[in-house]
Chain A
Amino acid sequence: GAVVSQHPSRVICKSGTSVKIECRSLDFQATTMFWYRQFPKQSLMLMATSNEGSKATYEQGVEKDKFLINHASLTLSTLTVTSAHPEDSSFYICSALSALAGGYEQYFGPGTRLTVT
């Protein structure tokens, strides 16, 4: 099956710094990728939809200036958490959409654990 990678898997940063997380589709092209945030023992919350070559679409309540998303190629989307604060500590998961006959499938990356100190 299709594989999506995320890098890094874990990152610890100091408050006020920025962190970039990469999401790659390894063996297929994805015009659409999604970024989710998962709090401990909770479900995935969709943050934004990333479309190759265009601006990301952010969900209500997600600060677009804080969570910068770039989808520069058909296999790479990046999420940059700018001026990170402890409340941004979370598990960030990306997914890539692959079209299928009659529908589609979403392939998930393994996630990135961000800890802001």
Chain B
Amino acid sequence: AQSVTQPDIHITVSEGASLELRCNYSYGATPYLFWYVQSPGQGLQLLLKYFSGDTLVQGIKGFEAEFKRSQSSFNLRKPSVHWSDAAEYFCAVGGYNFNKFYFGSGTKLNVKP
């Protein structure tokens, strides 16, 4: 069965520290992988996506993610977190045939000054 797991419900990091948000997926075919950010009262914004090619993907706002097929993972990273990064982050997987998106349960990021 297709699913996305984000093991960390809440993460707190200090401003300027590095960040890694974990995402593991289960998908029966070649996955398309996404990371979205949702700020309070706002819609989801795409941070980055992976379809094929280079397994290290660069996104907006200084985020990057690495696709590791052997580990079924697509972890999101940022070398230095800013206070404005505090939000909820969702990992998602979809198929090549444009349907059936599955979202993880989300990780809420708090940033300490």
**Could you tell me which A residues sit within 8 Å of B by CB distance?**
4, 32, 34, 42-46, 49, 57, 93, 95, 97, 99, 102-111
Contact with A along B73-104 (1 / 0, CB 8 A): 00000000000000000100010101111111
Instruction: For the complex, give the distance between the alpha carbons of A109 and B98 in Å.
Output: 18
State whether B32 touches A43 (Cβ < 8 A): no
B44 on the A face (CB < 8 A): yes
B42 on the A face (CB < 8 A): yes
State whether A108 touches B44 (Cβ < 8 A): yes
* Inter-chain contacts of B42 with A (CB < 8 A): 110
Q: B16 to nearest A CB, angstroms? A: 27
Q: B39 to nearest A CB, angstroms? A: 11
Known: A102-B51, A103-B51, A108-B43. 4 other contacts (CB 8 A): A49-B99, A97-B98, A103-B49, A108-B36
Interface residues on B, range: 20 to 34
State whether B32 touches A103 (Cβ < 8 A): yes
Instruction: For the complex, give the distance between the alpha carbons of A7 and B105 in Å.
Output: 26
Instruction: For the complex, give the distance between the alpha carbons of A62 and B100 in Å.
Output: 15
Instruction: For the complex, give the distance between the alpha carbons of A4 and B45 in Å.
Output: 11
Q: B13 to nearest A CB, angstroms? A: 20
State whether A43 touches B43 (Cβ < 8 A): no
State whether B43 touches A106 (Cβ < 8 A): no
* Inter-chain contacts of A107 with B (CB < 8 A): 46
Given the interface pairs A105-B49, A108-B44, A109-B43, the reply to whether A43 lies near B104 with Cβ below 8 Å is yes
Q: Pick the contact of A43: B46, B90, B99 (CB < 8 A).
A: B90
Instruction: For the complex, give the distance between the alpha carbons of A93 and B46 in Å.
Output: 15
* Inter-chain contacts of B44 with A (CB < 8 A): 44, 93, 95, 108
Instruction: For the complex, give the distance between the alpha carbons of A93 and B36 in Å.
Output: 14
Chain B, Cβ-Cβ closest to A109: B43
State whether A32 touches B99 (Cβ < 8 A): yes
Chain B, Cβ-Cβ closest to A102: B51
